[in-house]
Structure 1
């Protein structure tokens, strides 16, 4: 007599098939970008839920700001007026330096593809675990945001956009283990590469020669190499330079300049070849928080 319930494939076989299928899909997506449109569509579907989840935090922040006393508001206003005066004075000097820089680049026949176009965005949520460090922001494809777009705050580089939905985007933070950025030492223009370590306050600087002119306290800024990040933005400060005899390279670590886990408002930057496309999108949707140089 045949049994009523026949036994199917073993659990180990099923698991092996699913693992092989998952790896094949990951490789196919990485090589041919098969699921980019599907990912954008799914992000667009989830966007309303993300805004609803962010609503209590926004409401609490609004109530907290409205409960500030008159004296606190007066003191804050005076402080902002003083800071604004200093910034305006610095802007006068920066404008002159920018004009001189443009003239020198013309003399050297050097191309400068980055512009000062930028947009303010607000952080909606923070995702952090041992494998990934990301932020969710409230700007997306309808605002002209694109994959790989540089993201900064008032202190320095924060990261770059890794996924774009219609109204929200995900930002890969500087400290994520999969993030890398070319930099130079502000003191002497020595170039290097900074990689995320997966820890909030640590960055790795690999492939540094033992005789490299690099010191603790040196400020690392974006070099502009690779065409993604504009040159000159602060990235990190060197905290350790250790060379073990016989090792091929020195062990160099740095600390991010920006406080990545405390940022509420960020700035999205545009490079030269993305500006025209962003202008068309922004004109269509009527976005009014783009800051002109």
Structure 2
């Protein structure tokens, strides 16, 4: 039976024998490779042959790792960018506030110098808001009766006259600006001491010098100062600068326009001059001499 068995039924060495043979062969290869590098060329060729399989096996994992790192870096960059933008905006806001404070401090220094050179003592005041009347050129200030403010006091800044106090309340007061339609100031031309009056024509509208002959000696660039003849405005305060003179043939009067020297719309702080001393009374009219009796 055994001699006549087909070839594919024939059995090889026993499993134990195979284990011993392959173990001895493996030990021999390890010893030979360790001492004589017998398998270096084989290893190199096998690594070359297996590299595509290794690349295919590791590429998805590497792609996931790199994608995760990329997303983390993007999230970190977005967070850092947002933080830097916030810091930039905060720095810009601080720079603008510092710039505004520098301008305000410079204006306050100018007001201090102006108060020292003013003809009377002055109080520092701050604008609270514009008047509620849209047709009037008025401002509301933060000084009132409790600060001994009274109607008629003069308001000015470092450059010139702002206006006059017309209404006083316990904590606030209202100043009528030079440009108000109901405001006029007696002035003189600094260059030649010519006396005249400057009138307001409305907020953001040039001031006018009215009722002057066409040949009047007033030029563009002339400065107008308070004349002091009204016993309200002290003499010599800057009021306005002539910007335009129209001398039209056939008109009875020249049209003279000027701009206030005070920087009314640029600052928040002004000076209020203390009230002047009471002016001397008008002289009494002399009575007519009595007729002599004959």
For normalisation by structure 2, the TM-score amounts to 0.55
How far the C-alpha of 1:267 sits from its partner, in A, is: 0.3
Match of 1:246 in 2: 250
Residue from 178, 183, 198 that aligns with 1:179: 183
Question: What pairs up with 1:1-293 in 2 under 5 angstroms?
Answer: 68=94, 115-127=119-131, 131-273=135-277
> What CA distance in whole angstroms lies between the structure 1 residues aligned with 2:111 and 2:144?
30
Higher Cα radius of gyration: 2
How far the C-alpha of 1:208 sits from its partner, in A, is: 1.1
How far the C-alpha of 1:209 sits from its partner, in A, is: 1.5
> What CA distance in whole angstroms lies between the structure 2 residues aligned with 1:198 and 1:238?
17
> What CA distance in whole angstroms lies between the structure 2 residues aligned with 1:156 and 1:128?
25
- The answer as to whether partners of 1:115 and 1:271 remain within 8 angstroms in 2 is no
- The answer as to whether partners of 2:136 and 2:180 remain within 8 angstroms in 1 is yes
- The answer as to whether partners of 1:161 and 1:172 remain within 8 angstroms in 2 is yes
Residue 200 and residue 73 in structure 1: after superposition, are their counterparts in 2 closer, same or farther (change >3 A)? closer
Match of 1:278 in 2: none
> What CA distance in whole angstroms lies between the structure 1 residues aligned with 2:155 and 2:165?
7
For CA contacts below 8 A with separation 6 or more, give which structure has more relative contact order. Answer: 1
SS at match of 1:246: coil
**Deviation digits for residues 230-289 of structure 1, max 9, x if unmatched?**
111111111111122232211111111122223300100024317xxxxxxxxxxxxxxx
- The answer as to whether partners of 1:130 and 1:198 remain within 8 angstroms in 2 is no
Residue 68 and residue 169 in structure 1: after superposition, are their counterparts in 2 closer, same or farther (change >3 A)? same
How far the C-alpha of 1:120 sits from its partner, in A, is: 0.4
How far the C-alpha of 1:155 sits from its partner, in A, is: 1.5
How far the C-alpha of 1:130 sits from its partner, in A, is: 5.7
CA RMSD of aligned residues (A): 3.4
For normalisation by structure 1, the TM-score amounts to 0.55
Structure 1 gaps, min length 5: 1-63, 99-113, 275-293
> What CA distance in whole angstroms lies between the structure 2 residues aligned with 1:80 and 1:143?
23
Structure 1: 4+ residue segments shifted above 3 A: 71-74
How far the C-alpha of 1:169 sits from its partner, in A, is: 0.6
More strand by share: 1
Residue 164 and residue 129 in structure 1: after superposition, are their counterparts in 2 closer, same or farther (change >3 A)? closer
> What CA distance in whole angstroms lies between the structure 2 residues aligned with 1:195 and 1:259?
18
Residue 140 and residue 194 in structure 1: after superposition, are their counterparts in 2 closer, same or farther (change >3 A)? same
Match of 1:14 in 2: none
